[in-house]
């Protein structure tokens, strides 16, 4: 059996591990356009901040490819698929035949067509190791940095370079930071923490025109900069499957087994759509835990197994200058809110189930809330009064506790 995997991040790595659970002998070839060993993308901001290094960023040990009998073709991209011939054509002209193919091509930075952008010399996005290295090379203690986008990518970039630049200004058209995962009330303490470290915010505004060293905002305000970071979002890389005639919406369409509409072609990770079980909507969930679970499921099925991944939920765990926050699921429904000192907890309940949560500060045992969402546990089956105040196993029945802990019921 010949397996070809397009990608080298969480979904592709998980696919290798899924395949090897069932097939120890098949040939696995991974193709990546980056010239690096697999690394953890969320760590690029910590690399800039000096909190990690290139060695500790590795997502798997040095012997991962050798141990899993996997050939890595690095620094080369997949140009197109030929499904009838079951072949992948690479950018260097090579052709790779496959019996099963995984597309785990990830996403690319979204760069809006702002007037004058082409005149900005010191500009970068912030999604890859190359982006971080480029920013590090441009940065000096005298740099004025303008970041367009107050989402996760933009704010992690700001944290990574805090104290290494003269000024950092973040601009976003939303009226609060992290608009995709936090409501306005929850975002306030996070914004305060970032401002305490010298990061300035300009919200409810956007860049209208760019010059080599300044941005003119829609409000008319002028912001001078030496470095521009574009962090306004990402776009799933769907081209390979789309051009081969596969079903694509915003992301690549797959079934619960990871199979695309093209025979023997699977997809996983940030380039795909998943069904959010808290809303029933098909959406792109560009999150590492979902990417891994999707990739492992696809790998098992590519090797002849029968596995489904049907418990995808939005989920984020992140910190800014020591302030931790976790979110999962979706907002809306009955709200339980608790504020205690620097801690903030908001739970969302719909139809006798926990639909989502926002935790800031104390995030201990958040996994219990996540499990309730992922398993769609009826709240009437446990002591929700107890668990909403403090997540703990004692809120579950004895039978359920044993099941969650992997034990036997006596």
Dist. CA 178–CA 157, nearest whole Å: 13
238 within 8 A of 251, measured Cβ to Cβ: yes
Strand-pairing partners, residue 82, are 87
Q: Give the mean pLDDT of 303-331.
A: 94
28 within 8 A of 3, measured Cβ to Cβ: yes
Q: What is the pLDDT of residue 352?
A: 94
Q: Is 239 contained in some domain? A: yes
Dist. CA 176–CA 78, nearest whole Å: 39
Ordered alpha helix ranges (H), 197-322: 239-243, 288-302
What's the pLDDT band for 14 if we cut at 50, 70, 90?
A: very high
Are residues 372 and 399 located together in one domain of the fold? yes
Q: What is the pLDDT of residue 45?
A: 96
Are residues 339 and 202 located together in one domain of the fold? no
Token output for 364: 């201990």
Q: Is 311 contained in some domain? A: no
Shortest CA distance to 201 belongs to which of 178, 181, 180, 183?
A: 178
What's the pLDDT band for 398 if we cut at 50, 70, 90?
A: low
Predicted confidence (pLDDT) at residue 367 exceeds the cutoff of 50 = yes
Are residues 79 and 126 located together in one domain of the fold? no
Q: What is the pLDDT of residue 259?
A: 98
The number of beta carbons lying within 10 Å of the beta carbon of residue 281 is: 11
Shortest CA distance to 282 belongs to which of 239, 236, 242?
A: 236
Q: Give the mean pLDDT of 234-240.
A: 97
Domain boundary among 232, 257, 285: 232
Are residues 137 and 200 located together in one domain of the fold? yes
| Burial letters 159-178, b for 16+ CB under 10 A, else e | bbbbebbebbbbbbbbebbb
Predicted confidence (pLDDT) at residue 406 exceeds the cutoff of 70 = no
Dist. CA 221–CA 338, nearest whole Å: 38
User: Would you call 399 helix, strand, or coil by DSSP?
Assistant: helix
Query: Residue written as tokens 């004058």?
Result: 116
Query: Residue 61: which domain range?
Result: 2-108+235-302
CATH number at residue 352: 3.30.390.30
Dist. CA 130–CA 132, nearest whole Å: 5
Are residues 216 and 128 located together in one domain of the fold? yes
Domain boundary among 173, 207, 232: 232
Q: What is the average pLDDT score of the chain?
A: 93
Query: Percentage of the chain with pLDDT > 90?
Result: 88
Are residues 220 and 248 located together in one domain of the fold? no
Give pLDDT tens digits for 58-104. 999 999 999 999 999 999 999 999 999 999 999 999 999 999 999 99
Predicted confidence (pLDDT) at residue 315 exceeds the cutoff of 50 = yes
Q: Is 409 contained in some domain? A: no
Q: Which secondary-structure segment (H or E) carries 329?
A: strand 323-329
Dist. CA 255–CA 297, nearest whole Å: 11
User: Would you call 274 helix, strand, or coil by DSSP?
Assistant: strand
Are residues 221 and 261 located together in one domain of the fold? no
60 within 8 A of 15, measured Cβ to Cβ: no
Are residues 213 and 127 located together in one domain of the fold? yes
Q: Give the mean pLDDT of 355-367.
A: 92
Dist. CA 211–CA 214, nearest whole Å: 5
Dist. CA 123–CA 115, nearest whole Å: 14
Dist. CA 162–CA 347, nearest whole Å: 32
Q: What is the pLDDT of residue 364?
A: 85
Angle at 319 (CA atoms; ends 137, 157), nearest 5 degrees: 20
Give pLDDT tens digits for 158-215. 999 999 999 999 999 999 999 999 999 999 999 999 999 999 999 999 999 999 999 9
Q: What is the pLDDT of residue 389?
A: 77
The number of beta carbons lying within 10 Å of the beta carbon of residue 59 is: 18
Predicted confidence (pLDDT) at residue 397 exceeds the cutoff of 60 = no
Query: Percentage of the chain with pLDDT > 70?
Result: 95
Are residues 98 and 10 located together in one domain of the fold? yes
CATH number at residue 220: 3.50.50.60
What's the pLDDT band for 382 if we cut at 50, 70, 90?
A: confident
Q: What is the pLDDT of residue 410?
A: 34
Predicted confidence (pLDDT) at residue 149 exceeds the cutoff of 60 = yes
Q: Is 313 contained in some domain? A: no
- pTM (two decimals): 0.92
Dist. CA 171–CA 221, nearest whole Å: 11
Q: Is 245 contained in some domain? A: yes
Q: Give the mean pLDDT of 282-303.
A: 95
Number of domains in the chain: 3
Q: What is the pLDDT of residue 391?
A: 67
Q: Is 281 contained in some domain? A: yes
Interacting residues of 407 by C-beta distance below 8 A, sequence separation 6+: none
What's the pLDDT band for 408 if we cut at 50, 70, 90?
A: very low
203 within 8 A of 150, measured Cβ to Cβ: yes
Q: Is 171 contained in some domain? A: yes
The number of beta carbons lying within 10 Å of the beta carbon of residue 84 is: 8
Domain boundary among 302, 335, 358: 302
Predicted confidence (pLDDT) at residue 122 exceeds the cutoff of 70 = yes
Q: Give the mean pLDDT of 239-243.
A: 98
Q: What is the pLDDT of residue 401?
A: 54
User: Strand 199-203 to strand 265-267: parallel, antiparallel, or no bridges (unpaired)?
Assistant: unpaired
């Amino acid at each position: 059996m010949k397996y070809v995997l397009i990608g080298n991040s969480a979904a592709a790595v998980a696919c290798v591990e899924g395949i090897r659970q069932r097939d120890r002998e098949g040939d696995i070839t991974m193709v990546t356009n980056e010239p690096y060993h697999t690394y953890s993308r969320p760590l690029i901001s910590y690399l800039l901040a000096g909190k990690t290094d290139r060695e500790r960023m590795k997502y798997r040990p040095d012997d991962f490819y050798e141990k899993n009998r996997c050939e890595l073709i690095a620094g080369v991209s997949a140009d197109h698929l030929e499904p009838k011939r079951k072949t992948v054509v690479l950018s260097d002209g090579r052709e790779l035949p496959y019996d099963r193919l995984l597309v785990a091509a990830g996403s690319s930075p979204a760069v809006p067509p702002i007037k004058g952008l082409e005149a900005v010399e010191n500009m970068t996005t912030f999604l890859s190791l190359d982006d971080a290295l480029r920013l590090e090379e441009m940065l000096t203690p005298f740099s004025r940095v303008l970041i367009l986008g107050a989402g996760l990518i933009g704010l992690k970039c700001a944290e990574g370079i805090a104290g290494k630049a003269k000024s950092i200004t973040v601009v976003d058209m939303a009226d609060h930071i992290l608009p995709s995962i936090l409501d306005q009330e929850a975002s306030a303490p996070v914004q305060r923490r970032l401002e305490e470290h010298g990061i300035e915010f300009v919200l409810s505004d956007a860049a209208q025109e760019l010059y080599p060293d300044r941005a003119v905002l829609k409000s008319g305000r002028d912001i001078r900069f030496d470095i521009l970071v574009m962090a306004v979002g990402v776009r799933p890389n769907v081209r390979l499957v789309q051009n081969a005639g596969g079903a694509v919406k915003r992301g690549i369409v797959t079934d619960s087994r990871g199979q695309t509409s093209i025979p023997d072609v699977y997809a996983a990770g940030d380039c795909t759509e998943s069904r959010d079980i808290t809303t029933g909507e098909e959406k792109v969930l560009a999150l590492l835990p979902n990417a891994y679970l999707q990739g492992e499921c696809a790998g098992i099925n590519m090797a002849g197994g029968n596995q489904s991944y049907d418990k995808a939920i939005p989920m984020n765990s992140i910190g800014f200058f020591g302030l931790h926050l976790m979110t999962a699921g979706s907002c809306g429904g009955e709200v339980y809110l608790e504020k205690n000192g620097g801690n903030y907890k908001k739970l969302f309940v719909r139809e006798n189930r926990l639909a989502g949560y926002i935790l800031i500060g104390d995030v201990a045992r958040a996994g219990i809330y996540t499990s309730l969402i992922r398993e769609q546990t009826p709240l009437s089956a446990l002591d929700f009064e107890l668990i909403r105040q403090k997540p703990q196993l004692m809120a579950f029945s004895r039978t359920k506790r044993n099941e969650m802990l992997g034990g036997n019921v006596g």
